[in-house]
Structure 1
Amino acid sequence: MSNSLFETLQQDVKRLPGLPGVYRFFDEAGNILYVGKARNLKKRVSSYFQRTQLSPRIELMVGKIARYETTVTRTETEALILENNLIKELAPPFNILFRDDKSYPYVMLTGHEYPRLASYRGKVDKRNQYFGPFPNSWAVRNSVQILQKVFRLRTCEDSVFKNRSRPCLLHQIHRCSAPCVGRLSVEQYAQDVAQATRFLEGDHRRVLSELEKEMHAHSEAMEFEMAAVLRDRIADLSSVLQQQSMDAVADGEGDVDIIAVAQMEGMVCVNLAMVRGGRHLGDRAYFPKGLRTASGDLLPPSEILEAFIAQHYLEDAANDGAGANLIPPVLVLNHPLKSAGDDVRQSSDDLPEDLHDLLNAQAGKKITFLHQPQGQRRHWLAMAEGNAKIALTKRLVETGGQLARARALVDVLGLDLEGLEHLRIECFDISHTSGEATQASCVVYAKNAMQSGEYRRFNINDITPGDDYAAMRQVLQRRYANFQELPPEKMPQVILIDGGKGQVEMARQVLTEFGMDVGLIVGVAKGEGRKVGLETLIFADGRKPLELGIDSAALLLVAQIRDEAHRFAITGMRAKRAKARTVSRLEEIEGIGAKRRQKLLARFGGLKGVANASIEEIASVEGVSLTLAEQIYRQLH
């Protein structure tokens, strides 16, 4: 940054308001550098341009700033939520970024007369009861199985429940009490639901006590069959609790989240373990990005923990209907959070000084942070740290294999790269069925992984059906028509073409027309039997074809990317073909317009349902006469 620009920014920030909000820094090319929040925008943003008290990482960022933008919010909480949304959307290189892939499942009890037990993801409403969240679907399935075994609640859909005339298989194997056919009253079923609810809330002792009282009452009333049923429930529940060796019922631990940070060979894992109602539900590993300082060192664990807590809890608590359930009253951490400091931050991550207060306000309850727990919580924390290291080891092995493949491909192709993280490969494939519904796909390999967010599909039109060469020409023309405007990191070093000499020639012609380097093109010609390892690499710049062999790590990476392009193309083509066939076959019938077609498809659930319907059933659709129904029937048969 020049001195004149620095001075201009210094003067400009003096006009900022002293209000809460979010700020964004950009470089000369307009690329986002950093997103931060502030209680006082003027004070916080001006702190970056004081030339003092800046860490090496922040100093490096400030040197790249060309302009900034700000957004004023009503409160600091709103600023924090907006900041996290922008971090996830824009992925600034100087922010700690956790992948936003969490969609937590819940155990749901519906609000019916006979409530249904099910797993659920998504927004919640007041009509049903929700318990959780659970870290993964396995934990939910396990809980549902326990509740089925012990309390025998129904899990069937409403349409099945209403139309049963006799008990289903689940009743026969003692997993359902068959309320669908009146095997027990509404009151009896409600009692089972109440006990299941208390179990999910962690009140296991009370549930066992109630079951024992019921069993003795039935026994004294000479109702030995019912007493035996309750005896079996008690035995099942006791067995479940004994198997759950990680329970802390006696200690009254309740709801706790355990968050552990582990580092290994330059990689970081944040492991989140969930305890609900005293039961350990399992854990989930996260691998954050943006953790390096200017000198290449990893950021302190306390900063990583703060970034995780802010991004994981606060946004969901505000936007998710079950947000209050997401934040438990106790967070156990393996490192203390850094103490609240001045507005000038020494770290890369501009997190709130009063994160604790914001969590309390968002959750509507007091949140306790512990980093030196005792008893059962100490055991849970040690287990979370161990699982974080296991996840890191697994990721390192996987990444190491992928890196080895990428390094082998770079060597084989003779690419000149500063590092493997700069390798970008775009792969194209064409898919159709005898010329119908032709689609092209482009998949991207970058940053040592497939980048599904950058995949693209192209509908291919105005070509002779089945002309793969013309289809390849069209997709490459559309993809690279404005390649001069691409930022350097978006320009591929390799353009993989799924095909032989013909497709490679089409690619050479297109790149020549655009003035691009034809040395980027690598064709992947299938070998005998289309087996992986027998492919031949074909080049457009005069290099001899390469047959790397089945043991080649480079060819394994090429095959992985090629297969992903094929998968992405064929799924799009099938969807397009199915839609085209559905519309065209009904459009061919005289008297069927858009409204009637929509009503027919809605009534019978698609073209197959219409084809399977009788003439009388088709005629029952509003606007369809018997004559037209006969015409539709004949056309579809």
Structure 2
Amino acid sequence: MFDTATLPSAPGCYQFFDKGGTIIYVGKAKNLKKRVSSYFQKKDHDRKTQSLVASIARISVVVTNTETEAFLLENNLIKKHQPKYNIDLKDAKRYAYIELTREPFPRIGIARRTGAGESVYFGPFVSAAERDELVRIVRKIFLIRSCRRLPKRACLRHHLNTCSAPCVGAITQEEYQRQVDRAAELLKGKSTELLHMLREEMAGYSAREEYEKALSVRNQIGAVTRLSERQHVERPKETDQDVIGYTISDDTVYLMVFSVEKGLLMGKQEYSFDNREDFFEEFLVQYYADRVPPSELILSHEVDEALAGYLSERKGKAVHITVPKIGEKKKLLDLVQKNLEYAFLKNEMKTKDLQASLGLADSPEVIECFDISHLSGTAMVGSMVQFRNGVPDKKNYRRFQIKTVEGIDDFASIAEIVKRRYDRLIREDRELPDLIIIDGGKGQLSAAGESLRDLDLTIPVIALAKQEEDVYLPGEVLPRKLDPKGMALHYLQEIRDEAHRFAITYNRLLRKKTAVGSSGSSGSKRKKKNGA
């Protein structure tokens, strides 16, 4: 039903839509192709997943740079769209932050949302287990308190040497704040600077022969070094951004807008339209006519200064336009480009991959595939499906009743329908395909090739055998093995399976008509007998 072969083997989020265009499920994946394919390959889904799969009418994906970004994007999309089949965790409004309060003796803890100046926040974190472990380690390294109120006597944590006990004056406020500042540096991801500072401090203690303090700092250095290797924190940014990229193919513009809010990717919008001069500026004017522009637009090239002024007027304050060449913003543009290729050009990509895999001189834009279906030699029928530019062209599907073959003879049946199809196209002076696919092996391929030679046609023709998915080409003794994970073989399988489905549907229709006809004849005979 869905062509998952063209999905990227990259991290990201996928969205399932129903027939009405409503998002019914949002998921994340380390490998989008593998994860999305699993929905349609597995047969043992639970009832809810079966219901989900049955409701899917369209699939959309967003590629991310990392799996962590996929987690964050998934959370934002679920909160925004509240899909029917996602779990509704009403108490989990956002991924949690690590909080350092601004008290005389700050404490460290976990916050569900950020406040306005009362504390310093780090995150959000996509893994609760990782977040909790980080809090535990930071407390242990820097001996920061976690209690909501300072007790009047030292608690068990002080006796376990995991808190410096400011509650009983075991540490001065100045020294305690120094430890808090170091914890903040680590949570900001500045472990290199922190390690340099700690090493200098340890050297100073050693020079003054304060070995106990030197040992304590050395332990901190070891802990920070280990922690820096596993720390994954994303710091929120204040600026909202739209990242806009486009590509042009066959005189059509394919354009995508990524919306980034406070450093988090919130979603994408896709557009396609005819290419013409100044299309980009025209798009920007229309796009922001009914929505407030963000604080920053990240674009692939400069635009007219007057347009920047128009956008600033719409927003009520300056809109900055950035054309990055390097850095994080350039990576965002590259990510849009990657998503453009998968969203709009996947059919072109799989067609080119098929051309390369088969060694064809021309791109197979129009492909026709033949299949034979019968039930123990009865209701022998043939089908032909046509794919154009990577997608089914159902108005050009054809069905054949076998007329010249008696009994079960797939070879002769293939020869008949191939000859009938292209004899008619020649007589009517209609377009011929770029590639012909036969569902079968060497025998079916040979029969089709003979019919084409009788018509003096040199259309490339191949056969795809079901069991081993071997591809047979004329003149090659051994079958050609295509990459089982590649676009080319998946495209061939998609076409072959569609031809098989179409043939079986026609076969069942004929058998049903035959059964109804037989039932009607028997009824007539019984009626005459009763009447006599």
Q: TM-score range by the shorter chain?
A: 0.3 to 0.5
TM-score of the superposition, structure 1-length normalised? 0.35
> Highest Rg: 1 or 2?
2
